Structure 1
Amino acid sequence: MMKFKSIKIENKIITITHPDKILFPKDNITKWDLVKYYIKISDFILPFVKNHPITINCFREGINNNGFYRQHAPNNLPDWFQTYELERRKLGKMNHILCQNKASLIYLVNLNMVSIHRWLSTINNPEYPEILIVDIDPPQNMFDLACKAAKLIRIQLENLHYKAYLMVTGSRGLHVISKVNQNDSFEHVRNMLYKITSQIAYNYPQYFSIEVRKKNRENLVYLDITRNAYGQTAIAPFSVRAKEGAPIATPISWEEVDKKGLTPNKYNISNIISLITLKIILGMIAWSIKAKTTQNP
């Protein structure tokens, strides 16, 4: 097994240790395969994570073994790697990892990072969210109901002048995402989303629930708004998930949600690049731009 491989990214030499290490055993996906994926996807993922404190999900021995989450910056980071100190309520001050550029992204992959989770706010205004998220979490074999919930949430958000975007999570469900107004607090966002999701659950009690405890919602689709709080994170668009097949959290168009064959793990490390190229040609990748630039009235 190769012990290391060095690559030059943005005039920085990054040494990838044990590049041949298998991280996804069933799919024979190596650490070097992840490096290549994140290099290719960097222009798409970086606009979504830059200036957001992040938590990384690392797997030193591959995804079939226990991984760990890391949000605090390691002590031995290179001088060029940016971090940011933030207050973490009961935890006190913490020096958080940032992913500001391609070199930082690949450096994190070398730390055996598989997935990136981002705060909903940025270091520029951490107490106020930049985006809101409704995490639609269906029981197994109920993805069609997750799609129904997403469309209902979209209607309610856009009635309130919040442009809604959609992402398959690469896990079980969907995220409905919107950029929020500059002065929208986390409390305001949660209250608004509570009204939206509780009304949907009331109108369709046979399908949807807002109950946090799994035992209280039985076999219903969970409309989760709990990520909309200071310090909470959500999977970043275009992040790999630590699951068989290396699925990708992928932005999709609203037209796609009505097409046959959509699943939460449809996109993966093997097919995403060619599909993104197709999306660019079709003008469907506008989600990536609009979700970061569209201002609500």
Structure 2
Amino acid sequence: MKPMLPSLTFDLPIRPDWLYEVKYDGFRALLEWNSKGITLTSRNGKELFPQFPEIKEFLFQYEEKLKPFLPLQLDGELVFLENTHKANFSAIQVRGRMKSEKKIIEQATHSPCRLMVFDLLMLKGKPLYSLDFHKRKAELGKLLQTLEFHLDPDPYDDQLIQYVKANEDFNDLWEKVVLYDGEGIIAKSKNSLWEEGKRSLQWLKYKNWKYVSCFITSFEKTNGYFYVGVYKNKEILPIGQVLFGFKPEEKNALKQTIKQNMTSEDAQFIYVEPAICLEVKYLELYDRQLREPHFDRFRFDLEPAQCTYDLFMFAQKNLPSDLEITHPDKPLWENLSIQKADYILYLREISPYMLPFLKNRLLTVIRYPHGMFGEAFYQKNCPDYAPKFVETQPSDGIDYILCNNLKTLVWLGNQLAIEFHVPFQTINSNGPSEIVFDLDPPSKDAFQLAVKAALLIKEVLDQLNLIAFIKTSGNKGLQLYLPLPENVFSYDDTRLFTSFIAEYLISKDPDSFTIERMKKNRRNRLYVDYVQHSEGKTIVAPYSMRGNEHAGVATPLYWEEVNEKLERVSFNMENALKRIRSQGDPFQNYFQTKQIQAFAPVLDILKQGKKG
């Protein structure tokens, strides 16, 4: 059975009565389960279970629950899920080529792939092809809910069959696809029928192209391909070849120019010196070649020397194309090989996880215009030269920046804003959006005092049925967060709680903890600063870097990591991204927790105790 296919479009597919799904990049797969057994078939008719046994094993766990719905047929994409909006094309290709059964089983166990299901074609033996798409989608959602499957994609969930949501707002979904560097969007008419083997105009694929400025190095006479490259350390680096996207007259003119200016020729190629610059759009770099390259436009305004590997790498990470990155090779740390380009790329990749904690909060940054080699300064006021896309919010005579999008974050990174500090509430909050305990030990060597305090607080919170998240400060301590529902509690309310916790810590271990504000009277004890949690005060944002010697990052942790083995210097720019890729984001459920945080009953008890 051949699947229905979408048509490629370069025009925004925003239309009335259309729905929008994330386009995951993998192997299109039809799952069928009937009296003869279960199959997972590619669009070319290849059986996929031998290469991906984990999907079959997962389904068999639900055999009894699924029996009432058989025969069953699902349409989806088999992927290696990298994040909620992106699949790793290279990884699924590697899995698809594996021959060794031992290696396949090893990968299936440790790095399982997932079937992202977006359509229901048969249920209880009844074909659903003639149902409108939105009705099939509703039936699919009901089926997965009956099986008690989660309906949100999650690369760290043990659930290997995952649901692809249909969204009504294209722009909202597109913003997330760009943020997470996904492949694109599939737009589908609500009323489209499922038509076997047809490439339909009722389904459209709109891709998240990257753009690279490059130059032509040769022309292949046998097939009409133009080979392109960029300069890396003054050497030409080939990056692929392009055929599509040219108008006939553009292609003919280009061929003539190449022939007239060739440096040499053989049976297959005509070679030229770098001179003709192009902008090429592509999906990603795969096997050191541009994947799905399309000519976009000539760049007569560029010299070949401006087509560099560094700019190509920025294009690879889908940085905003109209944002100039200045001095990318500028060194930022004295004893670490971190250049400005590395820092900008860190911000780009961490942005999906960091931006939610910056959104709609009055931002204070610490800028290091000369890296760690010069003086730093605090910046609250938005500078006059800020681009128009930077949102601001006036407060107490200061025009604060709101870092609400990727473009603003990257712009701030280019300004060498290294530390991002935010208040405990958003601009829409009447009171605190969370409680934060800043566990700051007296010295770097006393980090374990912060660990001890965090674990003691966690014991109390568990008894009170309160949910807490924890991160390193990126410097010498730990910071413990309790998300709160918006516009429910005041700072006076939270002060009752923070002072209660402070007193508890001191009662448990007065030799380790103190609320003494005078430093000279603290004597190597950890200062429990419950006063710090108040209006106008700030805390370093999750995943912000710090301007210290080890390039620390304020890194979210899992609670099981908080023990005597925890070391503060382990969390830096180099491994923050590695952690997310291998372990996920410990703060992933932070905002959902706000709705279920049972803080009100605890507060009631504290208020009664105060009256008594």
Contact 1:114 1:240 in 2 (8 A): yes
Q: Is the partner of 2:542 in helix, strand or coil?
A: coil
Which residue number corresponds to residue 290 of structure 1? 589
Which residue number corresponds to residue 47 of structure 2? none
Which residue number corresponds to residue 157 of structure 1? 461
Q: Does 1:278 align with 2:603?
A: no
Which residue number corresponds to residue 175 of structure 1? 479
Report the CA distance between 1:181 and its aligned residue: 3.5
Deviations 1:218-243 (A, max 9, x none): 11011122331112110111111111
Which residue number corresponds to residue 139 of structure 1? 442
Match of 2:431 among 121, 128, 144: 128
Q: Is the partner of 2:569 in helix, strand or coil?
A: coil
Which residue number corresponds to residue 245 of structure 1? 550
Deviations 1:196-253 (A, max 9, x none): 1122113311110112221121110111223311121101111111111211110101
* Cα distance change, pair 162–64 in 1 and its aligned pair in 2 (3 A): farther
Q: Which amino acid letter does the alignment assign opposite residue 591 of structure 2? A: K
Which residue number corresponds to residue 255 of structure 1? 560
Structure 2 Cα separation of the partners of residues 231 and 160 of structure 1: 28
Aligned identity (percent) is: 32
Q: Is the partner of 1:187 in helix, strand or coil?
A: helix
Structure 1 Cα separation of the partners of residues 390 and 465 of structure 2: 38
Which residue number corresponds to residue 349 of structure 2? 40
Q: Which amino acid letter does the alignment assign opposite residue 289 of structure 1? A: Q
Q: Is the partner of 1:240 in helix, strand or coil?
A: coil
Q: Is the partner of 1:218 in helix, strand or coil?
A: coil
Q: Does 1:60 align with 2:369?
A: yes
User: Superposed, which structure 2 residues align to 1:91-102 within 5 Å?
Assistant: 93-102=397-406
Contact 1:71 1:97 in 2 (8 A): yes
Report the CA distance between 1:101 and its aligned residue: 1.0
Which residue number corresponds to residue 230 of structure 1? 535
Q: Is the partner of 1:189 in helix, strand or coil?
A: helix
Structure 1 Cα separation of the partners of residues 440 and 343 of structure 2: 27
Contact 2:319 2:348 in 1 (8 A): no
Q: Is the partner of 1:155 in helix, strand or coil?
A: helix
Structure 2 Cα separation of the partners of residues 177 and 276 of structure 1: 19
Q: Could you list the runs of 5+ residues in structure 2 that have no partner in the other structure?
A: 1-304, 599-612
Q: Could you list the runs of 5+ residues in structure 1 that have no partner in the other structure?
A: none
* Cα distance change, pair 292–25 in 1 and its aligned pair in 2 (3 A): same
Structure 1 Cα separation of the partners of residues 588 and 578 of structure 2: 19
Deviations 1:249-286 (A, max 9, x none): 101011001262x1123111112211211112xxxx2x
Contact 1:209 1:221 in 2 (8 A): yes
Match of 2:327 among 10, 14, 18: 18
Contact 2:469 2:587 in 1 (8 A): no
Contact 1:171 1:247 in 2 (8 A): yes
* Cα distance change, pair 216–181 in 1 and its aligned pair in 2 (3 A): farther
Structure 2 Cα separation of the partners of residues 10 and 79 of structure 1: 18
Match of 1:199 among 488, 498, 504: 504
Q: Which amino acid letter does the alignment assign opposite residue 154 of structure 1? A: K
Q: Is the partner of 1:200 in helix, strand or coil?
A: helix
Report the CA distance between 1:65 and its aligned residue: 2.1
Q: Is the partner of 1:265 in helix, strand or coil?
A: helix
Contact 1:57 1:116 in 2 (8 A): yes
Q: Is the partner of 1:170 in helix, strand or coil?
A: coil
Deviations 1:82-139 (A, max 9, x none): 11112x3xxxx221111111111000011111111111100111x4111111111113
Q: Does 1:30 align with 2:339?
A: yes
Structure 2 Cα separation of the partners of residues 235 and 159 of structure 1: 28
Structure 2 Cα separation of the partners of residues 235 and 47 of structure 1: 14
Q: Is the partner of 1:142 in helix, strand or coil?
A: helix
Over the residues paired in the alignment, what is the CA RMSD in angstroms? 2.2
Q: Is the partner of 1:136 in helix, strand or coil?
A: strand
Contact 2:513 2:526 in 1 (8 A): yes
Greater RCO structure (CA 8 Å; 6+ sep): 1
Contact 2:451 2:564 in 1 (8 A): no
Which residue number corresponds to residue 391 of structure 2? 82
Which residue number corresponds to residue 190 of structure 1? 495
Contact 1:170 1:266 in 2 (8 A): no
Deviations 1:24-75 (A, max 9, x none): 1211312111101111111111111111111111011122421001111111
Q: Given the two structures, how large is their TM-score scaled by the length of structure 2?
A: 0.44
Report the CA distance between 1:185 and its aligned residue: 0.9
Structure 1 Cα separation of the partners of residues 324 and 533 of structure 2: 37
Structure 1 Cα separation of the partners of residues 563 and 519 of structure 2: 28
Q: Given the two structures, how large is their TM-score scaled by the length of structure 1?
A: 0.89
* Greater per-residue strand proportion: 2
- Greater Rg, structure 1 or structure 2? 2
Contact 1:168 1:265 in 2 (8 A): no
Instruction: Give the total of aligned pairs.
Output: 284
* Cα distance change, pair 73–161 in 1 and its aligned pair in 2 (3 A): farther
* Cα distance change, pair 12–85 in 1 and its aligned pair in 2 (3 A): farther
